[in-house]
A and B are shown apart, each in its own frame.
Chain A
Amino acid sequence: MTDDKDVLRDVWFGRIPTCFTLYQDEITEREAEPYYLLLPRVSYLTLVTDKVKKHFQKAMRQEDVSEIWFEYEGTPLKWHYPIGLLFDLLASSSALPWNITVHFKSFPEKDLLHCPSKDAVEAHFMSCMKEADALKHKSQVINEMQKKDHKQLWMGLQNDRFDQFWAINRKLMEYPPEENGFRYIPFRIYQTTTERPFIQKLFRPVAADGQLHTLGDLLKEVCPSAVTAEDGEKKNQVMIHGIEPMLETPLQWLSEHLSYPDNFLHISIVPQSTD
């Protein structure tokens, strides 16, 4: 029987084989070969693509290089979304490797946030963590931590150090013994078919009668159109970290074990795969 803690490791070490190709209109001085890389599902594009940037910049002139940005099948990729979320939402039904196009000019100002440095990724990551704890513990746990604990969370993510990260993150997964879970569950539900980038609402893990709410309960409440099957046929897949958890899974358990490092459950609703 798999230990629950193994789930934490499996989530952390998930990888997506990716092929980076330079956009054909970029001006190069020599041929730029595609670059292959295993991307960590739980990290962020601009955090893990230094080698990609260096590889393509070698083929270009300095003056033709501006802020790097990534695109998949014409869609600019939001670096501030975890990599695994982007893949599940946009490319999970396509064959591997994930083919990403690299750009160095014409930054899409209306679609993407700028990422001037690693500090921007850290600021965004910490901001997500703080928001998650605001929902789970009214910010009490994260505010009680020292600055060095916050730093350790970030360094753990940046350097792919599971133990370093979870030494601190486990505190964010605790709750008072008299309760049955967090105050509210940090979650975001994404669908490519809506203009709204994601659905996020207040949702308790435990019902008034003490029953644990399930993933199915959450979807029925905040996103009913995504799961109700009018003709009995399943329209969509509900995906987290590339898998479809059973709708009967308690939301509290999902929050403790399948959250991303930012402590949010990032859930993708994608059309049912035909193969």
Chain B
Amino acid sequence: MEDEFFGEKSFQHYCAEFIKHSQQIGDGWEWKTAKDCSDGYMCKTQFQIKNGTTTSHRGTPASVHTCLPTEENLELTVDDSEVMESAAASQVIKYEYHVVYSCSYQVPVLYFRASFLDGRPLALKDIWEGVHECYKTRLLQGPWDTITQQEHPILGQPFFVLHPCKTNEFMTAVLKNPQKINRNVNYITSWLSIMGPVVGLNLPLSYAKATSQDE
């Protein structure tokens, strides 16, 4: 199919570039091809410690390492003092983030789910508690729709989705300026740096520098 505003080929290209840099800095993103090999998605698994006693905790405590995507070589290093403070109330939450392409809207979509280590999934209200206050207000106003539960289009399992119907609008604004001064912009990097933090997913700054250096 022809390349529209942001076609599937562009999506796959930007994801590949993004993953290249992720591999350089050990940020854990990888590409997963669908079983029937026709397309795929980009994903990352992250482990966070949720302190059960606080109500205003941020999504990513500084002392938690981002772990390798496979559970077999799970290495979780936690600051000893953190463990003492939170005691029995803290729990390890596994977050999975998937970047999937929507051919209907021709934009990437962020799918995510969270579960405790025993496999128990987090409910929508638990997810909401993990969203920082400042984002909560904006989420309820837009341009993002609120977080809803939807079926993952490739895996067929329930995920939460942060899917703004106005992605094109704000991405056009984001892309227009650098293009004016002839700088290269990785659409996925820009898009994820806006969407991600809302649900606890942060991008190290080196991604931005990687884009303007390559190509």
Q: Which residues of A pack against B, CB within 8 Å?
A: 78, 80, 109-114, 123, 127, 130-131, 134-135, 186, 194-198, 200-202
Contact = CB atoms under 8 A, between A and B. Distances in A.
A109 B157 CA distance: 9
B121 interface: yes
A198 B39 CA distance: 13
A196 B154 contact: yes
Contacts of A130: 165
11 contacts: A109-B120, A110-B121, A110-B157, A112-B158, A113-B149, A134-B105, A186-B104, A195-B35, A198-B153, A201-B1, A201-B103
B215 interface: no
B1 A195 contact: no
Given A196-B35, A202-B103, A110 B151 contact: no
A123 B34 contact: no
A194 B35 contact: yes
B212 interface: no
A130 B105 CA distance: 10
B56 interface: no
B156 A197 contact: yes
A75 B121 CA distance: 20
B148 interface: yes
A196 B149 contact: no
Nearest to A109: B121
A110 B156 CA distance: 9
Contacts of A197: 151, 153-156
Interface residues of B, number: 22
Contacts of A198: 153
A131 B158 contact: no
Nearest to A222: B38
B1 A202 contact: yes
Interface of B: 1, 34-36, 103-105, 120-121, 123-124, 148-151, 153-158, 165
B159 to A, nearest CB: 9
B154 A78 contact: no
Nearest to B34: A196
A190 to B, nearest CB: 10
A134 B121 contact: no
Contacts of A110: 121, 157-158
B189 to A, nearest CB: 25
A223 to B, nearest CB: 10
Main secondary structure of the interface of A (DSSP, over half): loop
The listed residue with most A CB atoms (<10 A of its CB), out of B1, B36, B104, B124, is: B104
A255 to B, nearest CB: 14
A139 to B, nearest CB: 8
A96 B101 CA distance: 40
A111 B124 CA distance: 16
A13 B158 CA distance: 30
Contact of A194 (B36, B103, B153): B36
A128 to B, nearest CB: 10
A127 B145 CA distance: 11
A186 B105 CA distance: 12
Given A110-B121, A202-B1, A131 B150 contact: no
B150 A196 contact: no
The 7 closest A-B pairs by CB, nearest first: A197-B156, A202-B1, A131-B104, A109-B121, A195-B35, A113-B158, A134-B104
A229 B157 CA distance: 32
Contacts of B104: 131, 134-135, 186, 200
A266 to B, nearest CB: 13
Nearest to B150: A113
Given A186-B104, A196-B36, A197-B155, 5 more contacts: A110-B157, A197-B156, A200-B103, A201-B1, A202-B103
Contacts of B105: 131, 134
A202 to B, nearest CB: 5
A78 B148 CA distance: 16
A186 B158 CA distance: 22
B151 A78 contact: yes
B103 A80 contact: no
A200 B153 contact: yes
A134 B1 CA distance: 16
